C-alpha cells in the first residue's frame, strides 16, 4: 500500500484546555475520518502528525520545519487566527507543500489565503459532524490533490519572482539544511517506461548506508575526474560503497580496500591516465557488496576540482554520464545476463547550478531515452536521499506524464 504523510498545523493549547479539546475534535472527527475514507477508496494510507504527537528530542522550530518539509501535504486549522499557525502555513506554502485549510464557521479566511483549498466546519448542529459532512469535504480536497499528483507550486514560483531573484535556489538550500536527515529507507513510487510498460523506473528513498536493500545489480557512483573515491566515513555514496565493499576485521577496521584496489587495477588494465574526460565510466566488480546483490559499481568521472573552491559538476556533461553508464551496462550484460537493474543517485544535486526539479527532469529524460536503446536494462532506480530530492523527482515525473504503477504488479 502506498503511504504518505500529512502534517497538521493546528492551535494546540495546554492539555485539558478548550483549545486542546477543539483541536482534538477536529483531528478525530474531521481529519482522521477523511483520511480513513481516502485509504478505503484509493488504497493510500496517509499518516497524520500534529506537533504534540512528536516524541523525539529537538527544538520545536526544528521539528516543525522537519515535519513540514518531510510531509506530502499539510492541513492547517486557522480557527481563531493563531499567529503560530499562520507562520507555519507560510512555511508550508513557500516550501511548495499542498495545503488544505480548515476554519470554524462563521469565522472568515484572511484575504491572503482565500484562494487556498479550504473547508468551513461547525460543531453545532453536531449531527453534521457525526454524519461526516465536513470529513467528506476534506476527502474531496484530498481526492483533488491525488488527481493533481500531490503537486503545489512554491510562492516565489507562483508569482514569478524565482527566476529573477533566485529565491527557489535559496529556498532549496534552506530546505536541505533545515532537514539534513535522510528519508526512511523504502520504495516510494514506480513508473512504467513509456515505450515498454513492463520495464520500470522506481524512486527509492533512504540513507546510502542501506543502499543494498533496493535490489539494484549496478550502483552508479559520482567521482572526481581523477577517480578519487571519498573516504570511508565521508557522508557520500562513494565513501559508503568503499567501506561496505572492503574486507574488514570483526571490529569494523579495514583489512583490504577492495573497491579502491579494483578501480586502480581496472584503470591500469585500460591504460588510462588521469585526469579523465568527464563522462568516463569505469566498472568494477564488487567484493563484499556482492553479498547483498550489488554486482558492479559504475564510477563516473564527473566532478572537476578547483583549488580552494571544491568540486563542481558541469551540467552539460550529465547527458554523457548517463549515456555512458547505459553503454557500459549494455556491454557487460552481453556476458552477464543477470545484470538487469541500475541505481542512480541524484547526479550533481549539490555540485551544479541546476535546481532539483530541473535536475530531476533532465535525469528522467536521459534515463527514458537510454532505456529505450538498451533493452537489457529492465529497471532503473533513482535514489532520493532527502525530502527535496523526492519532491523534485515526483514533480518531474508528473510533468513528463509518466504512468505510476502499483507495487503489487
Task: Kindly tell me the burial class for residue 287, based on how many C-beta atoms sit within 10 Å of its own C-beta (0-12, 13-18, 19 or more).
Answer: middle
Phi and psi of 196, rounded to 5°?
-155, 90
Task: Record the cell numbers describing residue 302, joined without a space.
Answer: 564527473
Position 59 scores a pLDDT of 47
pLDDT given for residue 336 in this prediction: 94
Query: Consecutive 10-residue runs of the chain (409 residues): their mean pLDDT?
Result: 86 89 92 94 89 58 76 92 90 88 88 78 83 91 86 60 48 50 82 95 81 80 88 84 91 91 92 86 93 92 73 79 95 94 86 77 95 96 86 89 83
C-alpha cell at 169: 535556489
Range(s) within the chain of domains with CATH label 3.40.220.10: 184-405
Quickly list H helices, 203-295: 237-245, 258-270
| 296-306/310-313 β-pairing | antiparallel
What's the CATH code, domain 2-162? 3.40.50.2300
* Cell numbers placing 12: 494546540
**Which pLDDT belongs to residue 147?**
82
In sequence order, what E strands does 152-309 have?
Answer: 186-193, 196-205, 218-224, 247-248, 254-256, 281-285, 296-306
Give ranges for CATH 3.40.50.2300 in the chain: 2-162
61: left (phi over 0), alpha (psi -120 to 50) or beta: alpha
CA separation, residue 359 to residues 93, 146, 187, 368, 405 (Å)? 22, 24, 20, 14, 23
Yes or no: domain 184-405 corresponds to CATH 3.40.220.10: yes
Contacts for 243 with CB less than 8 Å, ≥ 6 apart: 232, 233, 254
Cell 557522508, residue located:
235
Q: Are the beta carbons of 329 and 362 closer than 8 angstroms?
A: no
pLDDT value of position 182: 73
Quick one: pLDDT at residue 196? 95
pLDDT at 57: 42
Amino acid at each position: 500500500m502506498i503511504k504518505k504523510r500529512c502534517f497538521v498545523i493546528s492551535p494546540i493549547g495546554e492539555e485539558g484546555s478548550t483549545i486542546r479539546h477543539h483541536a482534538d475534535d477536529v483531528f478525530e472527527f474531521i481529519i482522521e475520518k477523511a483520511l480513513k475514507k481516502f485509504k478505503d477508496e484509493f488504497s493510500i494510507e496517509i499518516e497524520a502528525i500534529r506537533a504534540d504527537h512528536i516524541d523525539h528530542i529537538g527544538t520545536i522550530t526544528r521539528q516543525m520545519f522537519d515535519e513540514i518539509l518531510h510531509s506530502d501535504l499539510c492541513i492547517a486549522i486557522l480557527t481563531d487566527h493563531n499567529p503560530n499557525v499562520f507562520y507555519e502555513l507560510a512555511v508550508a506554502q513557500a516550501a511548495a507543500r499542498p495545503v488544505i485549510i480548515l476554519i470554524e464557521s462563521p469565522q472568515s479566511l484572511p484575504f491572503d489565503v482565500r484562494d487556498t483549498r479550504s473547508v468551513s466546519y461547525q460543531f453545532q448542529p453536531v449531527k453534521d459532524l457525526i454524519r461526516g459532512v465536513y470529513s467528506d469535504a476534506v476527502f474531496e480536497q484530498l481526492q483533488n490533490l491525488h488527481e493533481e499528483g500531490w503537486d503545489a507550486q512554491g510562492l516565489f514560483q507562483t508569482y514569478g519572482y524565482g527566476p529573477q531573484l533566485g529565491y527557489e535556489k535559496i529556498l532549496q538550500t534552506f530546505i536541505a539544511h533545515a532537514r539534513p536527515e535522510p528519508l526512511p529507507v523504502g520504495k516510494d513510487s514506480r513508473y512504467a517506461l513509456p515505450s515498454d510498460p513492463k520495464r520500470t523506473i522506481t524512486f527509492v528513498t533512504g540513507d546510502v548506508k542501506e543502499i543494498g536493500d533496493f535490489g539494484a545489480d549496478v550502483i552508479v557512483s559520482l567521482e572526481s575526474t581523477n577517480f578519487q573515491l571519498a573516504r570511508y566515513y565521508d557522508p557520500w555514496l562513494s565513501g559508503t560503497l568503499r567501506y561496505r565493499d572492503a574486507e574488514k576485521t570483526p571490529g569494523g577496521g579495514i583489512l583490504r580496500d577492495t573497491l579502491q584496489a579494483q578501480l586502480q587495477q581496472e584503470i591500469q588494465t585500460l591504460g588510462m591516465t588521469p585526469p579523465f574526460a568527464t563522462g568516463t565510466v569505469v566498472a568494477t566488480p564488487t567484493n563484499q557488496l556482492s553479498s547483498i546483490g550489488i554486482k558492479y559499481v559504475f564510477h563516473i568521472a564527473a566532478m572537476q576540482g578547483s583549488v580552494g573552491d571544491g568540486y563542481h559538476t558541469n551540467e552539460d556533461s550529465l547527458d554523457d554520464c548517463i549515456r555512458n553508464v547505459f553503454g557500459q551496462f549494455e556491454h557487460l550484460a552481453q556476458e552477464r545476463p543477470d545484470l538487469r537493474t541500475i541505481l542512480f543517485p541524484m547526479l550533481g544535486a549539490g555540485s551544479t547550478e541546476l535546481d532539483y526539479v530541473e535536475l530531476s527532469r533532465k535525469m528522467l529524460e536521459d534515463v527514458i531515452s537510454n532505456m529505450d536503446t538498451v533493452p537489457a536494462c529492465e529497471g532503473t532506480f533513482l535514489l532520493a536521499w532527502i525530502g527535496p530530492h523526492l519532491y523534485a523527482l515526483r514533480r518531474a515525473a508528473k510533468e513528463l506524464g509518466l504512468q505510476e504503477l502499483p507495487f503489487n504488479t
